[in-house]
Amino acid sequence: MHTLCRRKSSRTSVLLLLQQFRHHGTIYSLSSGFGKAGVAVIRVSGPQTSTALKSLCKSDIPKPRTVVLKKLFDPESSELIDRGLVLWFPSPHSFTGEDVCEFHVHGGSAVISAVLHALGNIQGLEPAAPGEFTKRSFHNGKLDLTEVEGLGALIHAETEAQRRQAVRQMEGDLSRLYNDWRLRLLKCVANVEAYIDFSEDDNIEEGVLDEVQVNVQKLKKEIVNHLSDNRRGERLRTGAHVVIVGPPNVGKSSLLNHLCQRPAAIISPTAGTTRDVVETALNIGGFPVLLSDTAGLRETEDVVEREGILRALNRAKQADLTIVVLDAPSLWKRMEGEDFSMITLLKEQLTDIYGTNENDTTRQSQNTQNQSTSLTQDGQPFQNLDHQCIGLNAVSDTHETCHNLHEEEEPFAEKIIVVNKMDLLTQPLDVRRLDLERLTVCPLSCTTGEGMEELVERISSSMKQICGNPLAGNPSLTHARYRTHLKNCVEALEKYQDLQNRDLVLAARALRSAIRQIGKITGAVSSEAILDVIFRDFCIGK
Ligand SMILES: Nc1nc2c(ncn2[C@@H]2O[C@H](COP(=O)(O)OP(=O)(O)OP(=O)(O)O)[C@@H](O)[C@H]2O)c(=O)[nH]1
């Protein structure tokens, strides 16, 4: 235990020493957004900050963390640049942990340029790289990597739910969870190493390994639970994919335009107008949605349209939520006078859309196992028929082949059936009779707007399922890299369990590897290459 701690503390001090030398320059940048604004904030961080402050203000440094109104001058020409607010944050009580100052000036581009130019002329000052202030903050122990990424997510947050999740992460909720796991594992490894070192002298408590085993098992269960989240946190951070599909001319583009309240897609009475995927980002009920309109699905010889249909099916396969649009007049025509159940009818409608039947599906799935693209008799490339299973799963669970193919399918591949153009019906169509388990049917008229509110509510409640409540329970796993490291961690814990009775030295090594994996999430273990990737997404000035 002692040796372990000593080794760790000497490594930590070398790391700290390295970090101190790594970022010795003084950086400056505009920290508020570009474009005209009432106020712009220019930030400086590093050892030369006080020099920069005195040079521009032509006065002594103000009291720490107190706003003062100052005239700002160009140090070279002594010309007045602007009058603004100045703040001084001496190290270590600053965002970066270094000496920091902020100039809050008028937001015109000429003012900003003049202040940046004046700062650039001071010896030792250099423009900041993207995310460099935050990177310094990380290196100085102010934020760990999960908090850094929470801050990044907060800056990019566009909806209320995204903001809530990001604030929680920035405030250290995930960091606390992962650090708790890391500390518990450190305790386990310390006990195992102590057992290895001292057991022969009988100097170690009985049952220490049993206790480790119990703790490892408990921890593994907690991590596995955390991983089994249906990627809620990631979906909330990046946006859930909602895809509109259906036959041509049923009003898919009209629906997209209605939802995003702008003419994003072309609407026309000509069937087959939409050829490619049209994507737009929306906020539905506080959740981020990436909504796609797609080409109408039908048999066609047109090569461009076929490519559009292939893209539509691909998009639908990746969707978190699929909105299948049908049109009420054709649905009504099919129901009129015919005596078959709603399930059969709907199944047929979906089969029409996805153009397959049970036998086809079996044949097609064999095709897809062998090759993703095959040729039709006339030598034309065939679309990847794998996608044609979508929709049928929801209707018939007896579709074994479909099911097998979709074992990997996300559980949130939900579907909503929209019956559009209700305004054209002269006779009532009781769409409630179409309600099926797992499928919601929403009657709608894009022309009159009737049914739109209910549809938005339905999408919104699907989003709640897909993205979860960011404030409830344990914090969500928000980044794919956390998932990778946690999976590796679970594997290492399983390796420990496998080896503990056979080779304790190797088992201890597996435990240490599990600790390293968690350390990589928080940044306790990091490399410049990984940091570069993480900070690359930050803007300049942050
Ligand atoms: N009466 C009526 N017409 C509608 C409604 N929704 C859309 N339309 C009309 O139906 C036609 C087709 O609408 P689109 O939104 O282009 O249909 P689409 O499904 O995107 O068509 P494709 O691009 O061919 O796939 C247009 O003339 C729309 O004005 C509706 O609720 N009622």
Q: What are the sequence ranges of the domains in the chain?
A: 26-144, 169-229+477-523, 240-467
Q: Kindly give the distance from the C-alpha atom of residue 303 to the centroid of ligand 1, in angstroms, as a whole number.
A: 23
Rounded to whole angstroms, the Cα distance separating 487 from 478 reads 14
Ligand 1 atom nearest residue 448's Cα: 31
Residue of the nearest CA to atom 32 in ligand 1?
421
Residue type, 312: A
Task: Kindly report the average pLDDT of the chain as a whole number.
Answer: 80
**Residue 386: predicted pLDDT:** 25
Ligand 1 pocket, 443 CB below 6 A? no
Closest CA to 325 of 276, 291, 360: 291
Pocket lining: 329 vs ligand 1, CB cutoff 6 Å: no
CB 298 near ligand 1, within 6 Å: no
Q: Is the CB of 257 under 6 A from ligand 1?
A: no
Q: Which pairing describes strands 100-107 and 321-327: parallel, antiparallel, or unpaired?
A: unpaired
Q: So what's the architecture of 169-229+477-523 in CATH?
A: Up-down Bundle (1.20)
Nearest CA to ligand 1 atom 12: 249
Q: Whose CA is nearest to atom 8 of ligand 1?
A: 251
Of ligand 1's atoms, which has the minimum distance to the CA of residue 420? 31
Cβ–ligand 1 distance for 424 under 6 Å, the answer: yes
The two tokens of residue 360 are 């086809």
Q: At what angle do helices 160-170 and 145-156 cross, to 10 degrees?
A: 160
Residue nearest (by alpha carbon) to ligand 1 atom 13: 251
CB burial of 343-371 (b: ≥16 within 10 Å; e: otherwise) equals eebbbebbbbbbebeeeebeebbebbeee
For the CA of 246, the closest atom of ligand 1 is 19
Instruction: State the closest ligand 1 atom to the C-alpha of 249, by its place in the atom list counted from 1.
Output: 21
Residue nearest to atom 11 of ligand 1 (CA): 269
Q: What is the CA(326)–ligand 1 centre distance, in A?
A: 11
For 354-378, what is each residue's pLDDT tens digit?
A: 554 433 333 333 333 222 222 222 3
Cis preceding-peptide flag for 92 (omega within 30 of 0):
yes
CATH architecture, domain defined by 26-144: 2-Layer Sandwich (3.30)
Q: Crossing angle of helices 504-522/480-499, nearest 10°?
A: 170
Residue with tokens 């995003």: 260
User: How many angstroms does the Cα of residue 95 sit away from the middle of ligand 1?
Assistant: 53
Q: Which of 243, 244, 249, 309 to mutate to test the pocket of ligand 1 (most atoms within 8 A of CB)?
A: 249
Cα distance between residue 305 and residue 534, in whole Å = 40
Looking at the domain 240-467, which fold is it? Rossmann fold (3.40.50)
* The pLDDT value given to residue 23: 55
Give the distance (Å) from ligand 1 centre to CA of residue 245. 13
User: Could you tell me if the CB of 286 is within 6 A of ligand 1?
Assistant: no
pLDDT of amino acid 354: 54
Mutate to test the pocket of ligand 1, among 243, 245, 254 (most ligand atoms within 8 A of CB): 254
pLDDT at res. 243: 94
Q: What is the pLDDT of residue 140?
A: 92
Which ligand 1 atom minimizes the distance to the CA of 250?
19
Low-confidence ranges of the chain (pLDDT < 50): 1-22, 339-343, 356-412
What pLDDT, on a 0 to 100 scale, did the predictor assign at position 338?
55
In the prediction, which pLDDT does 479 show?
93
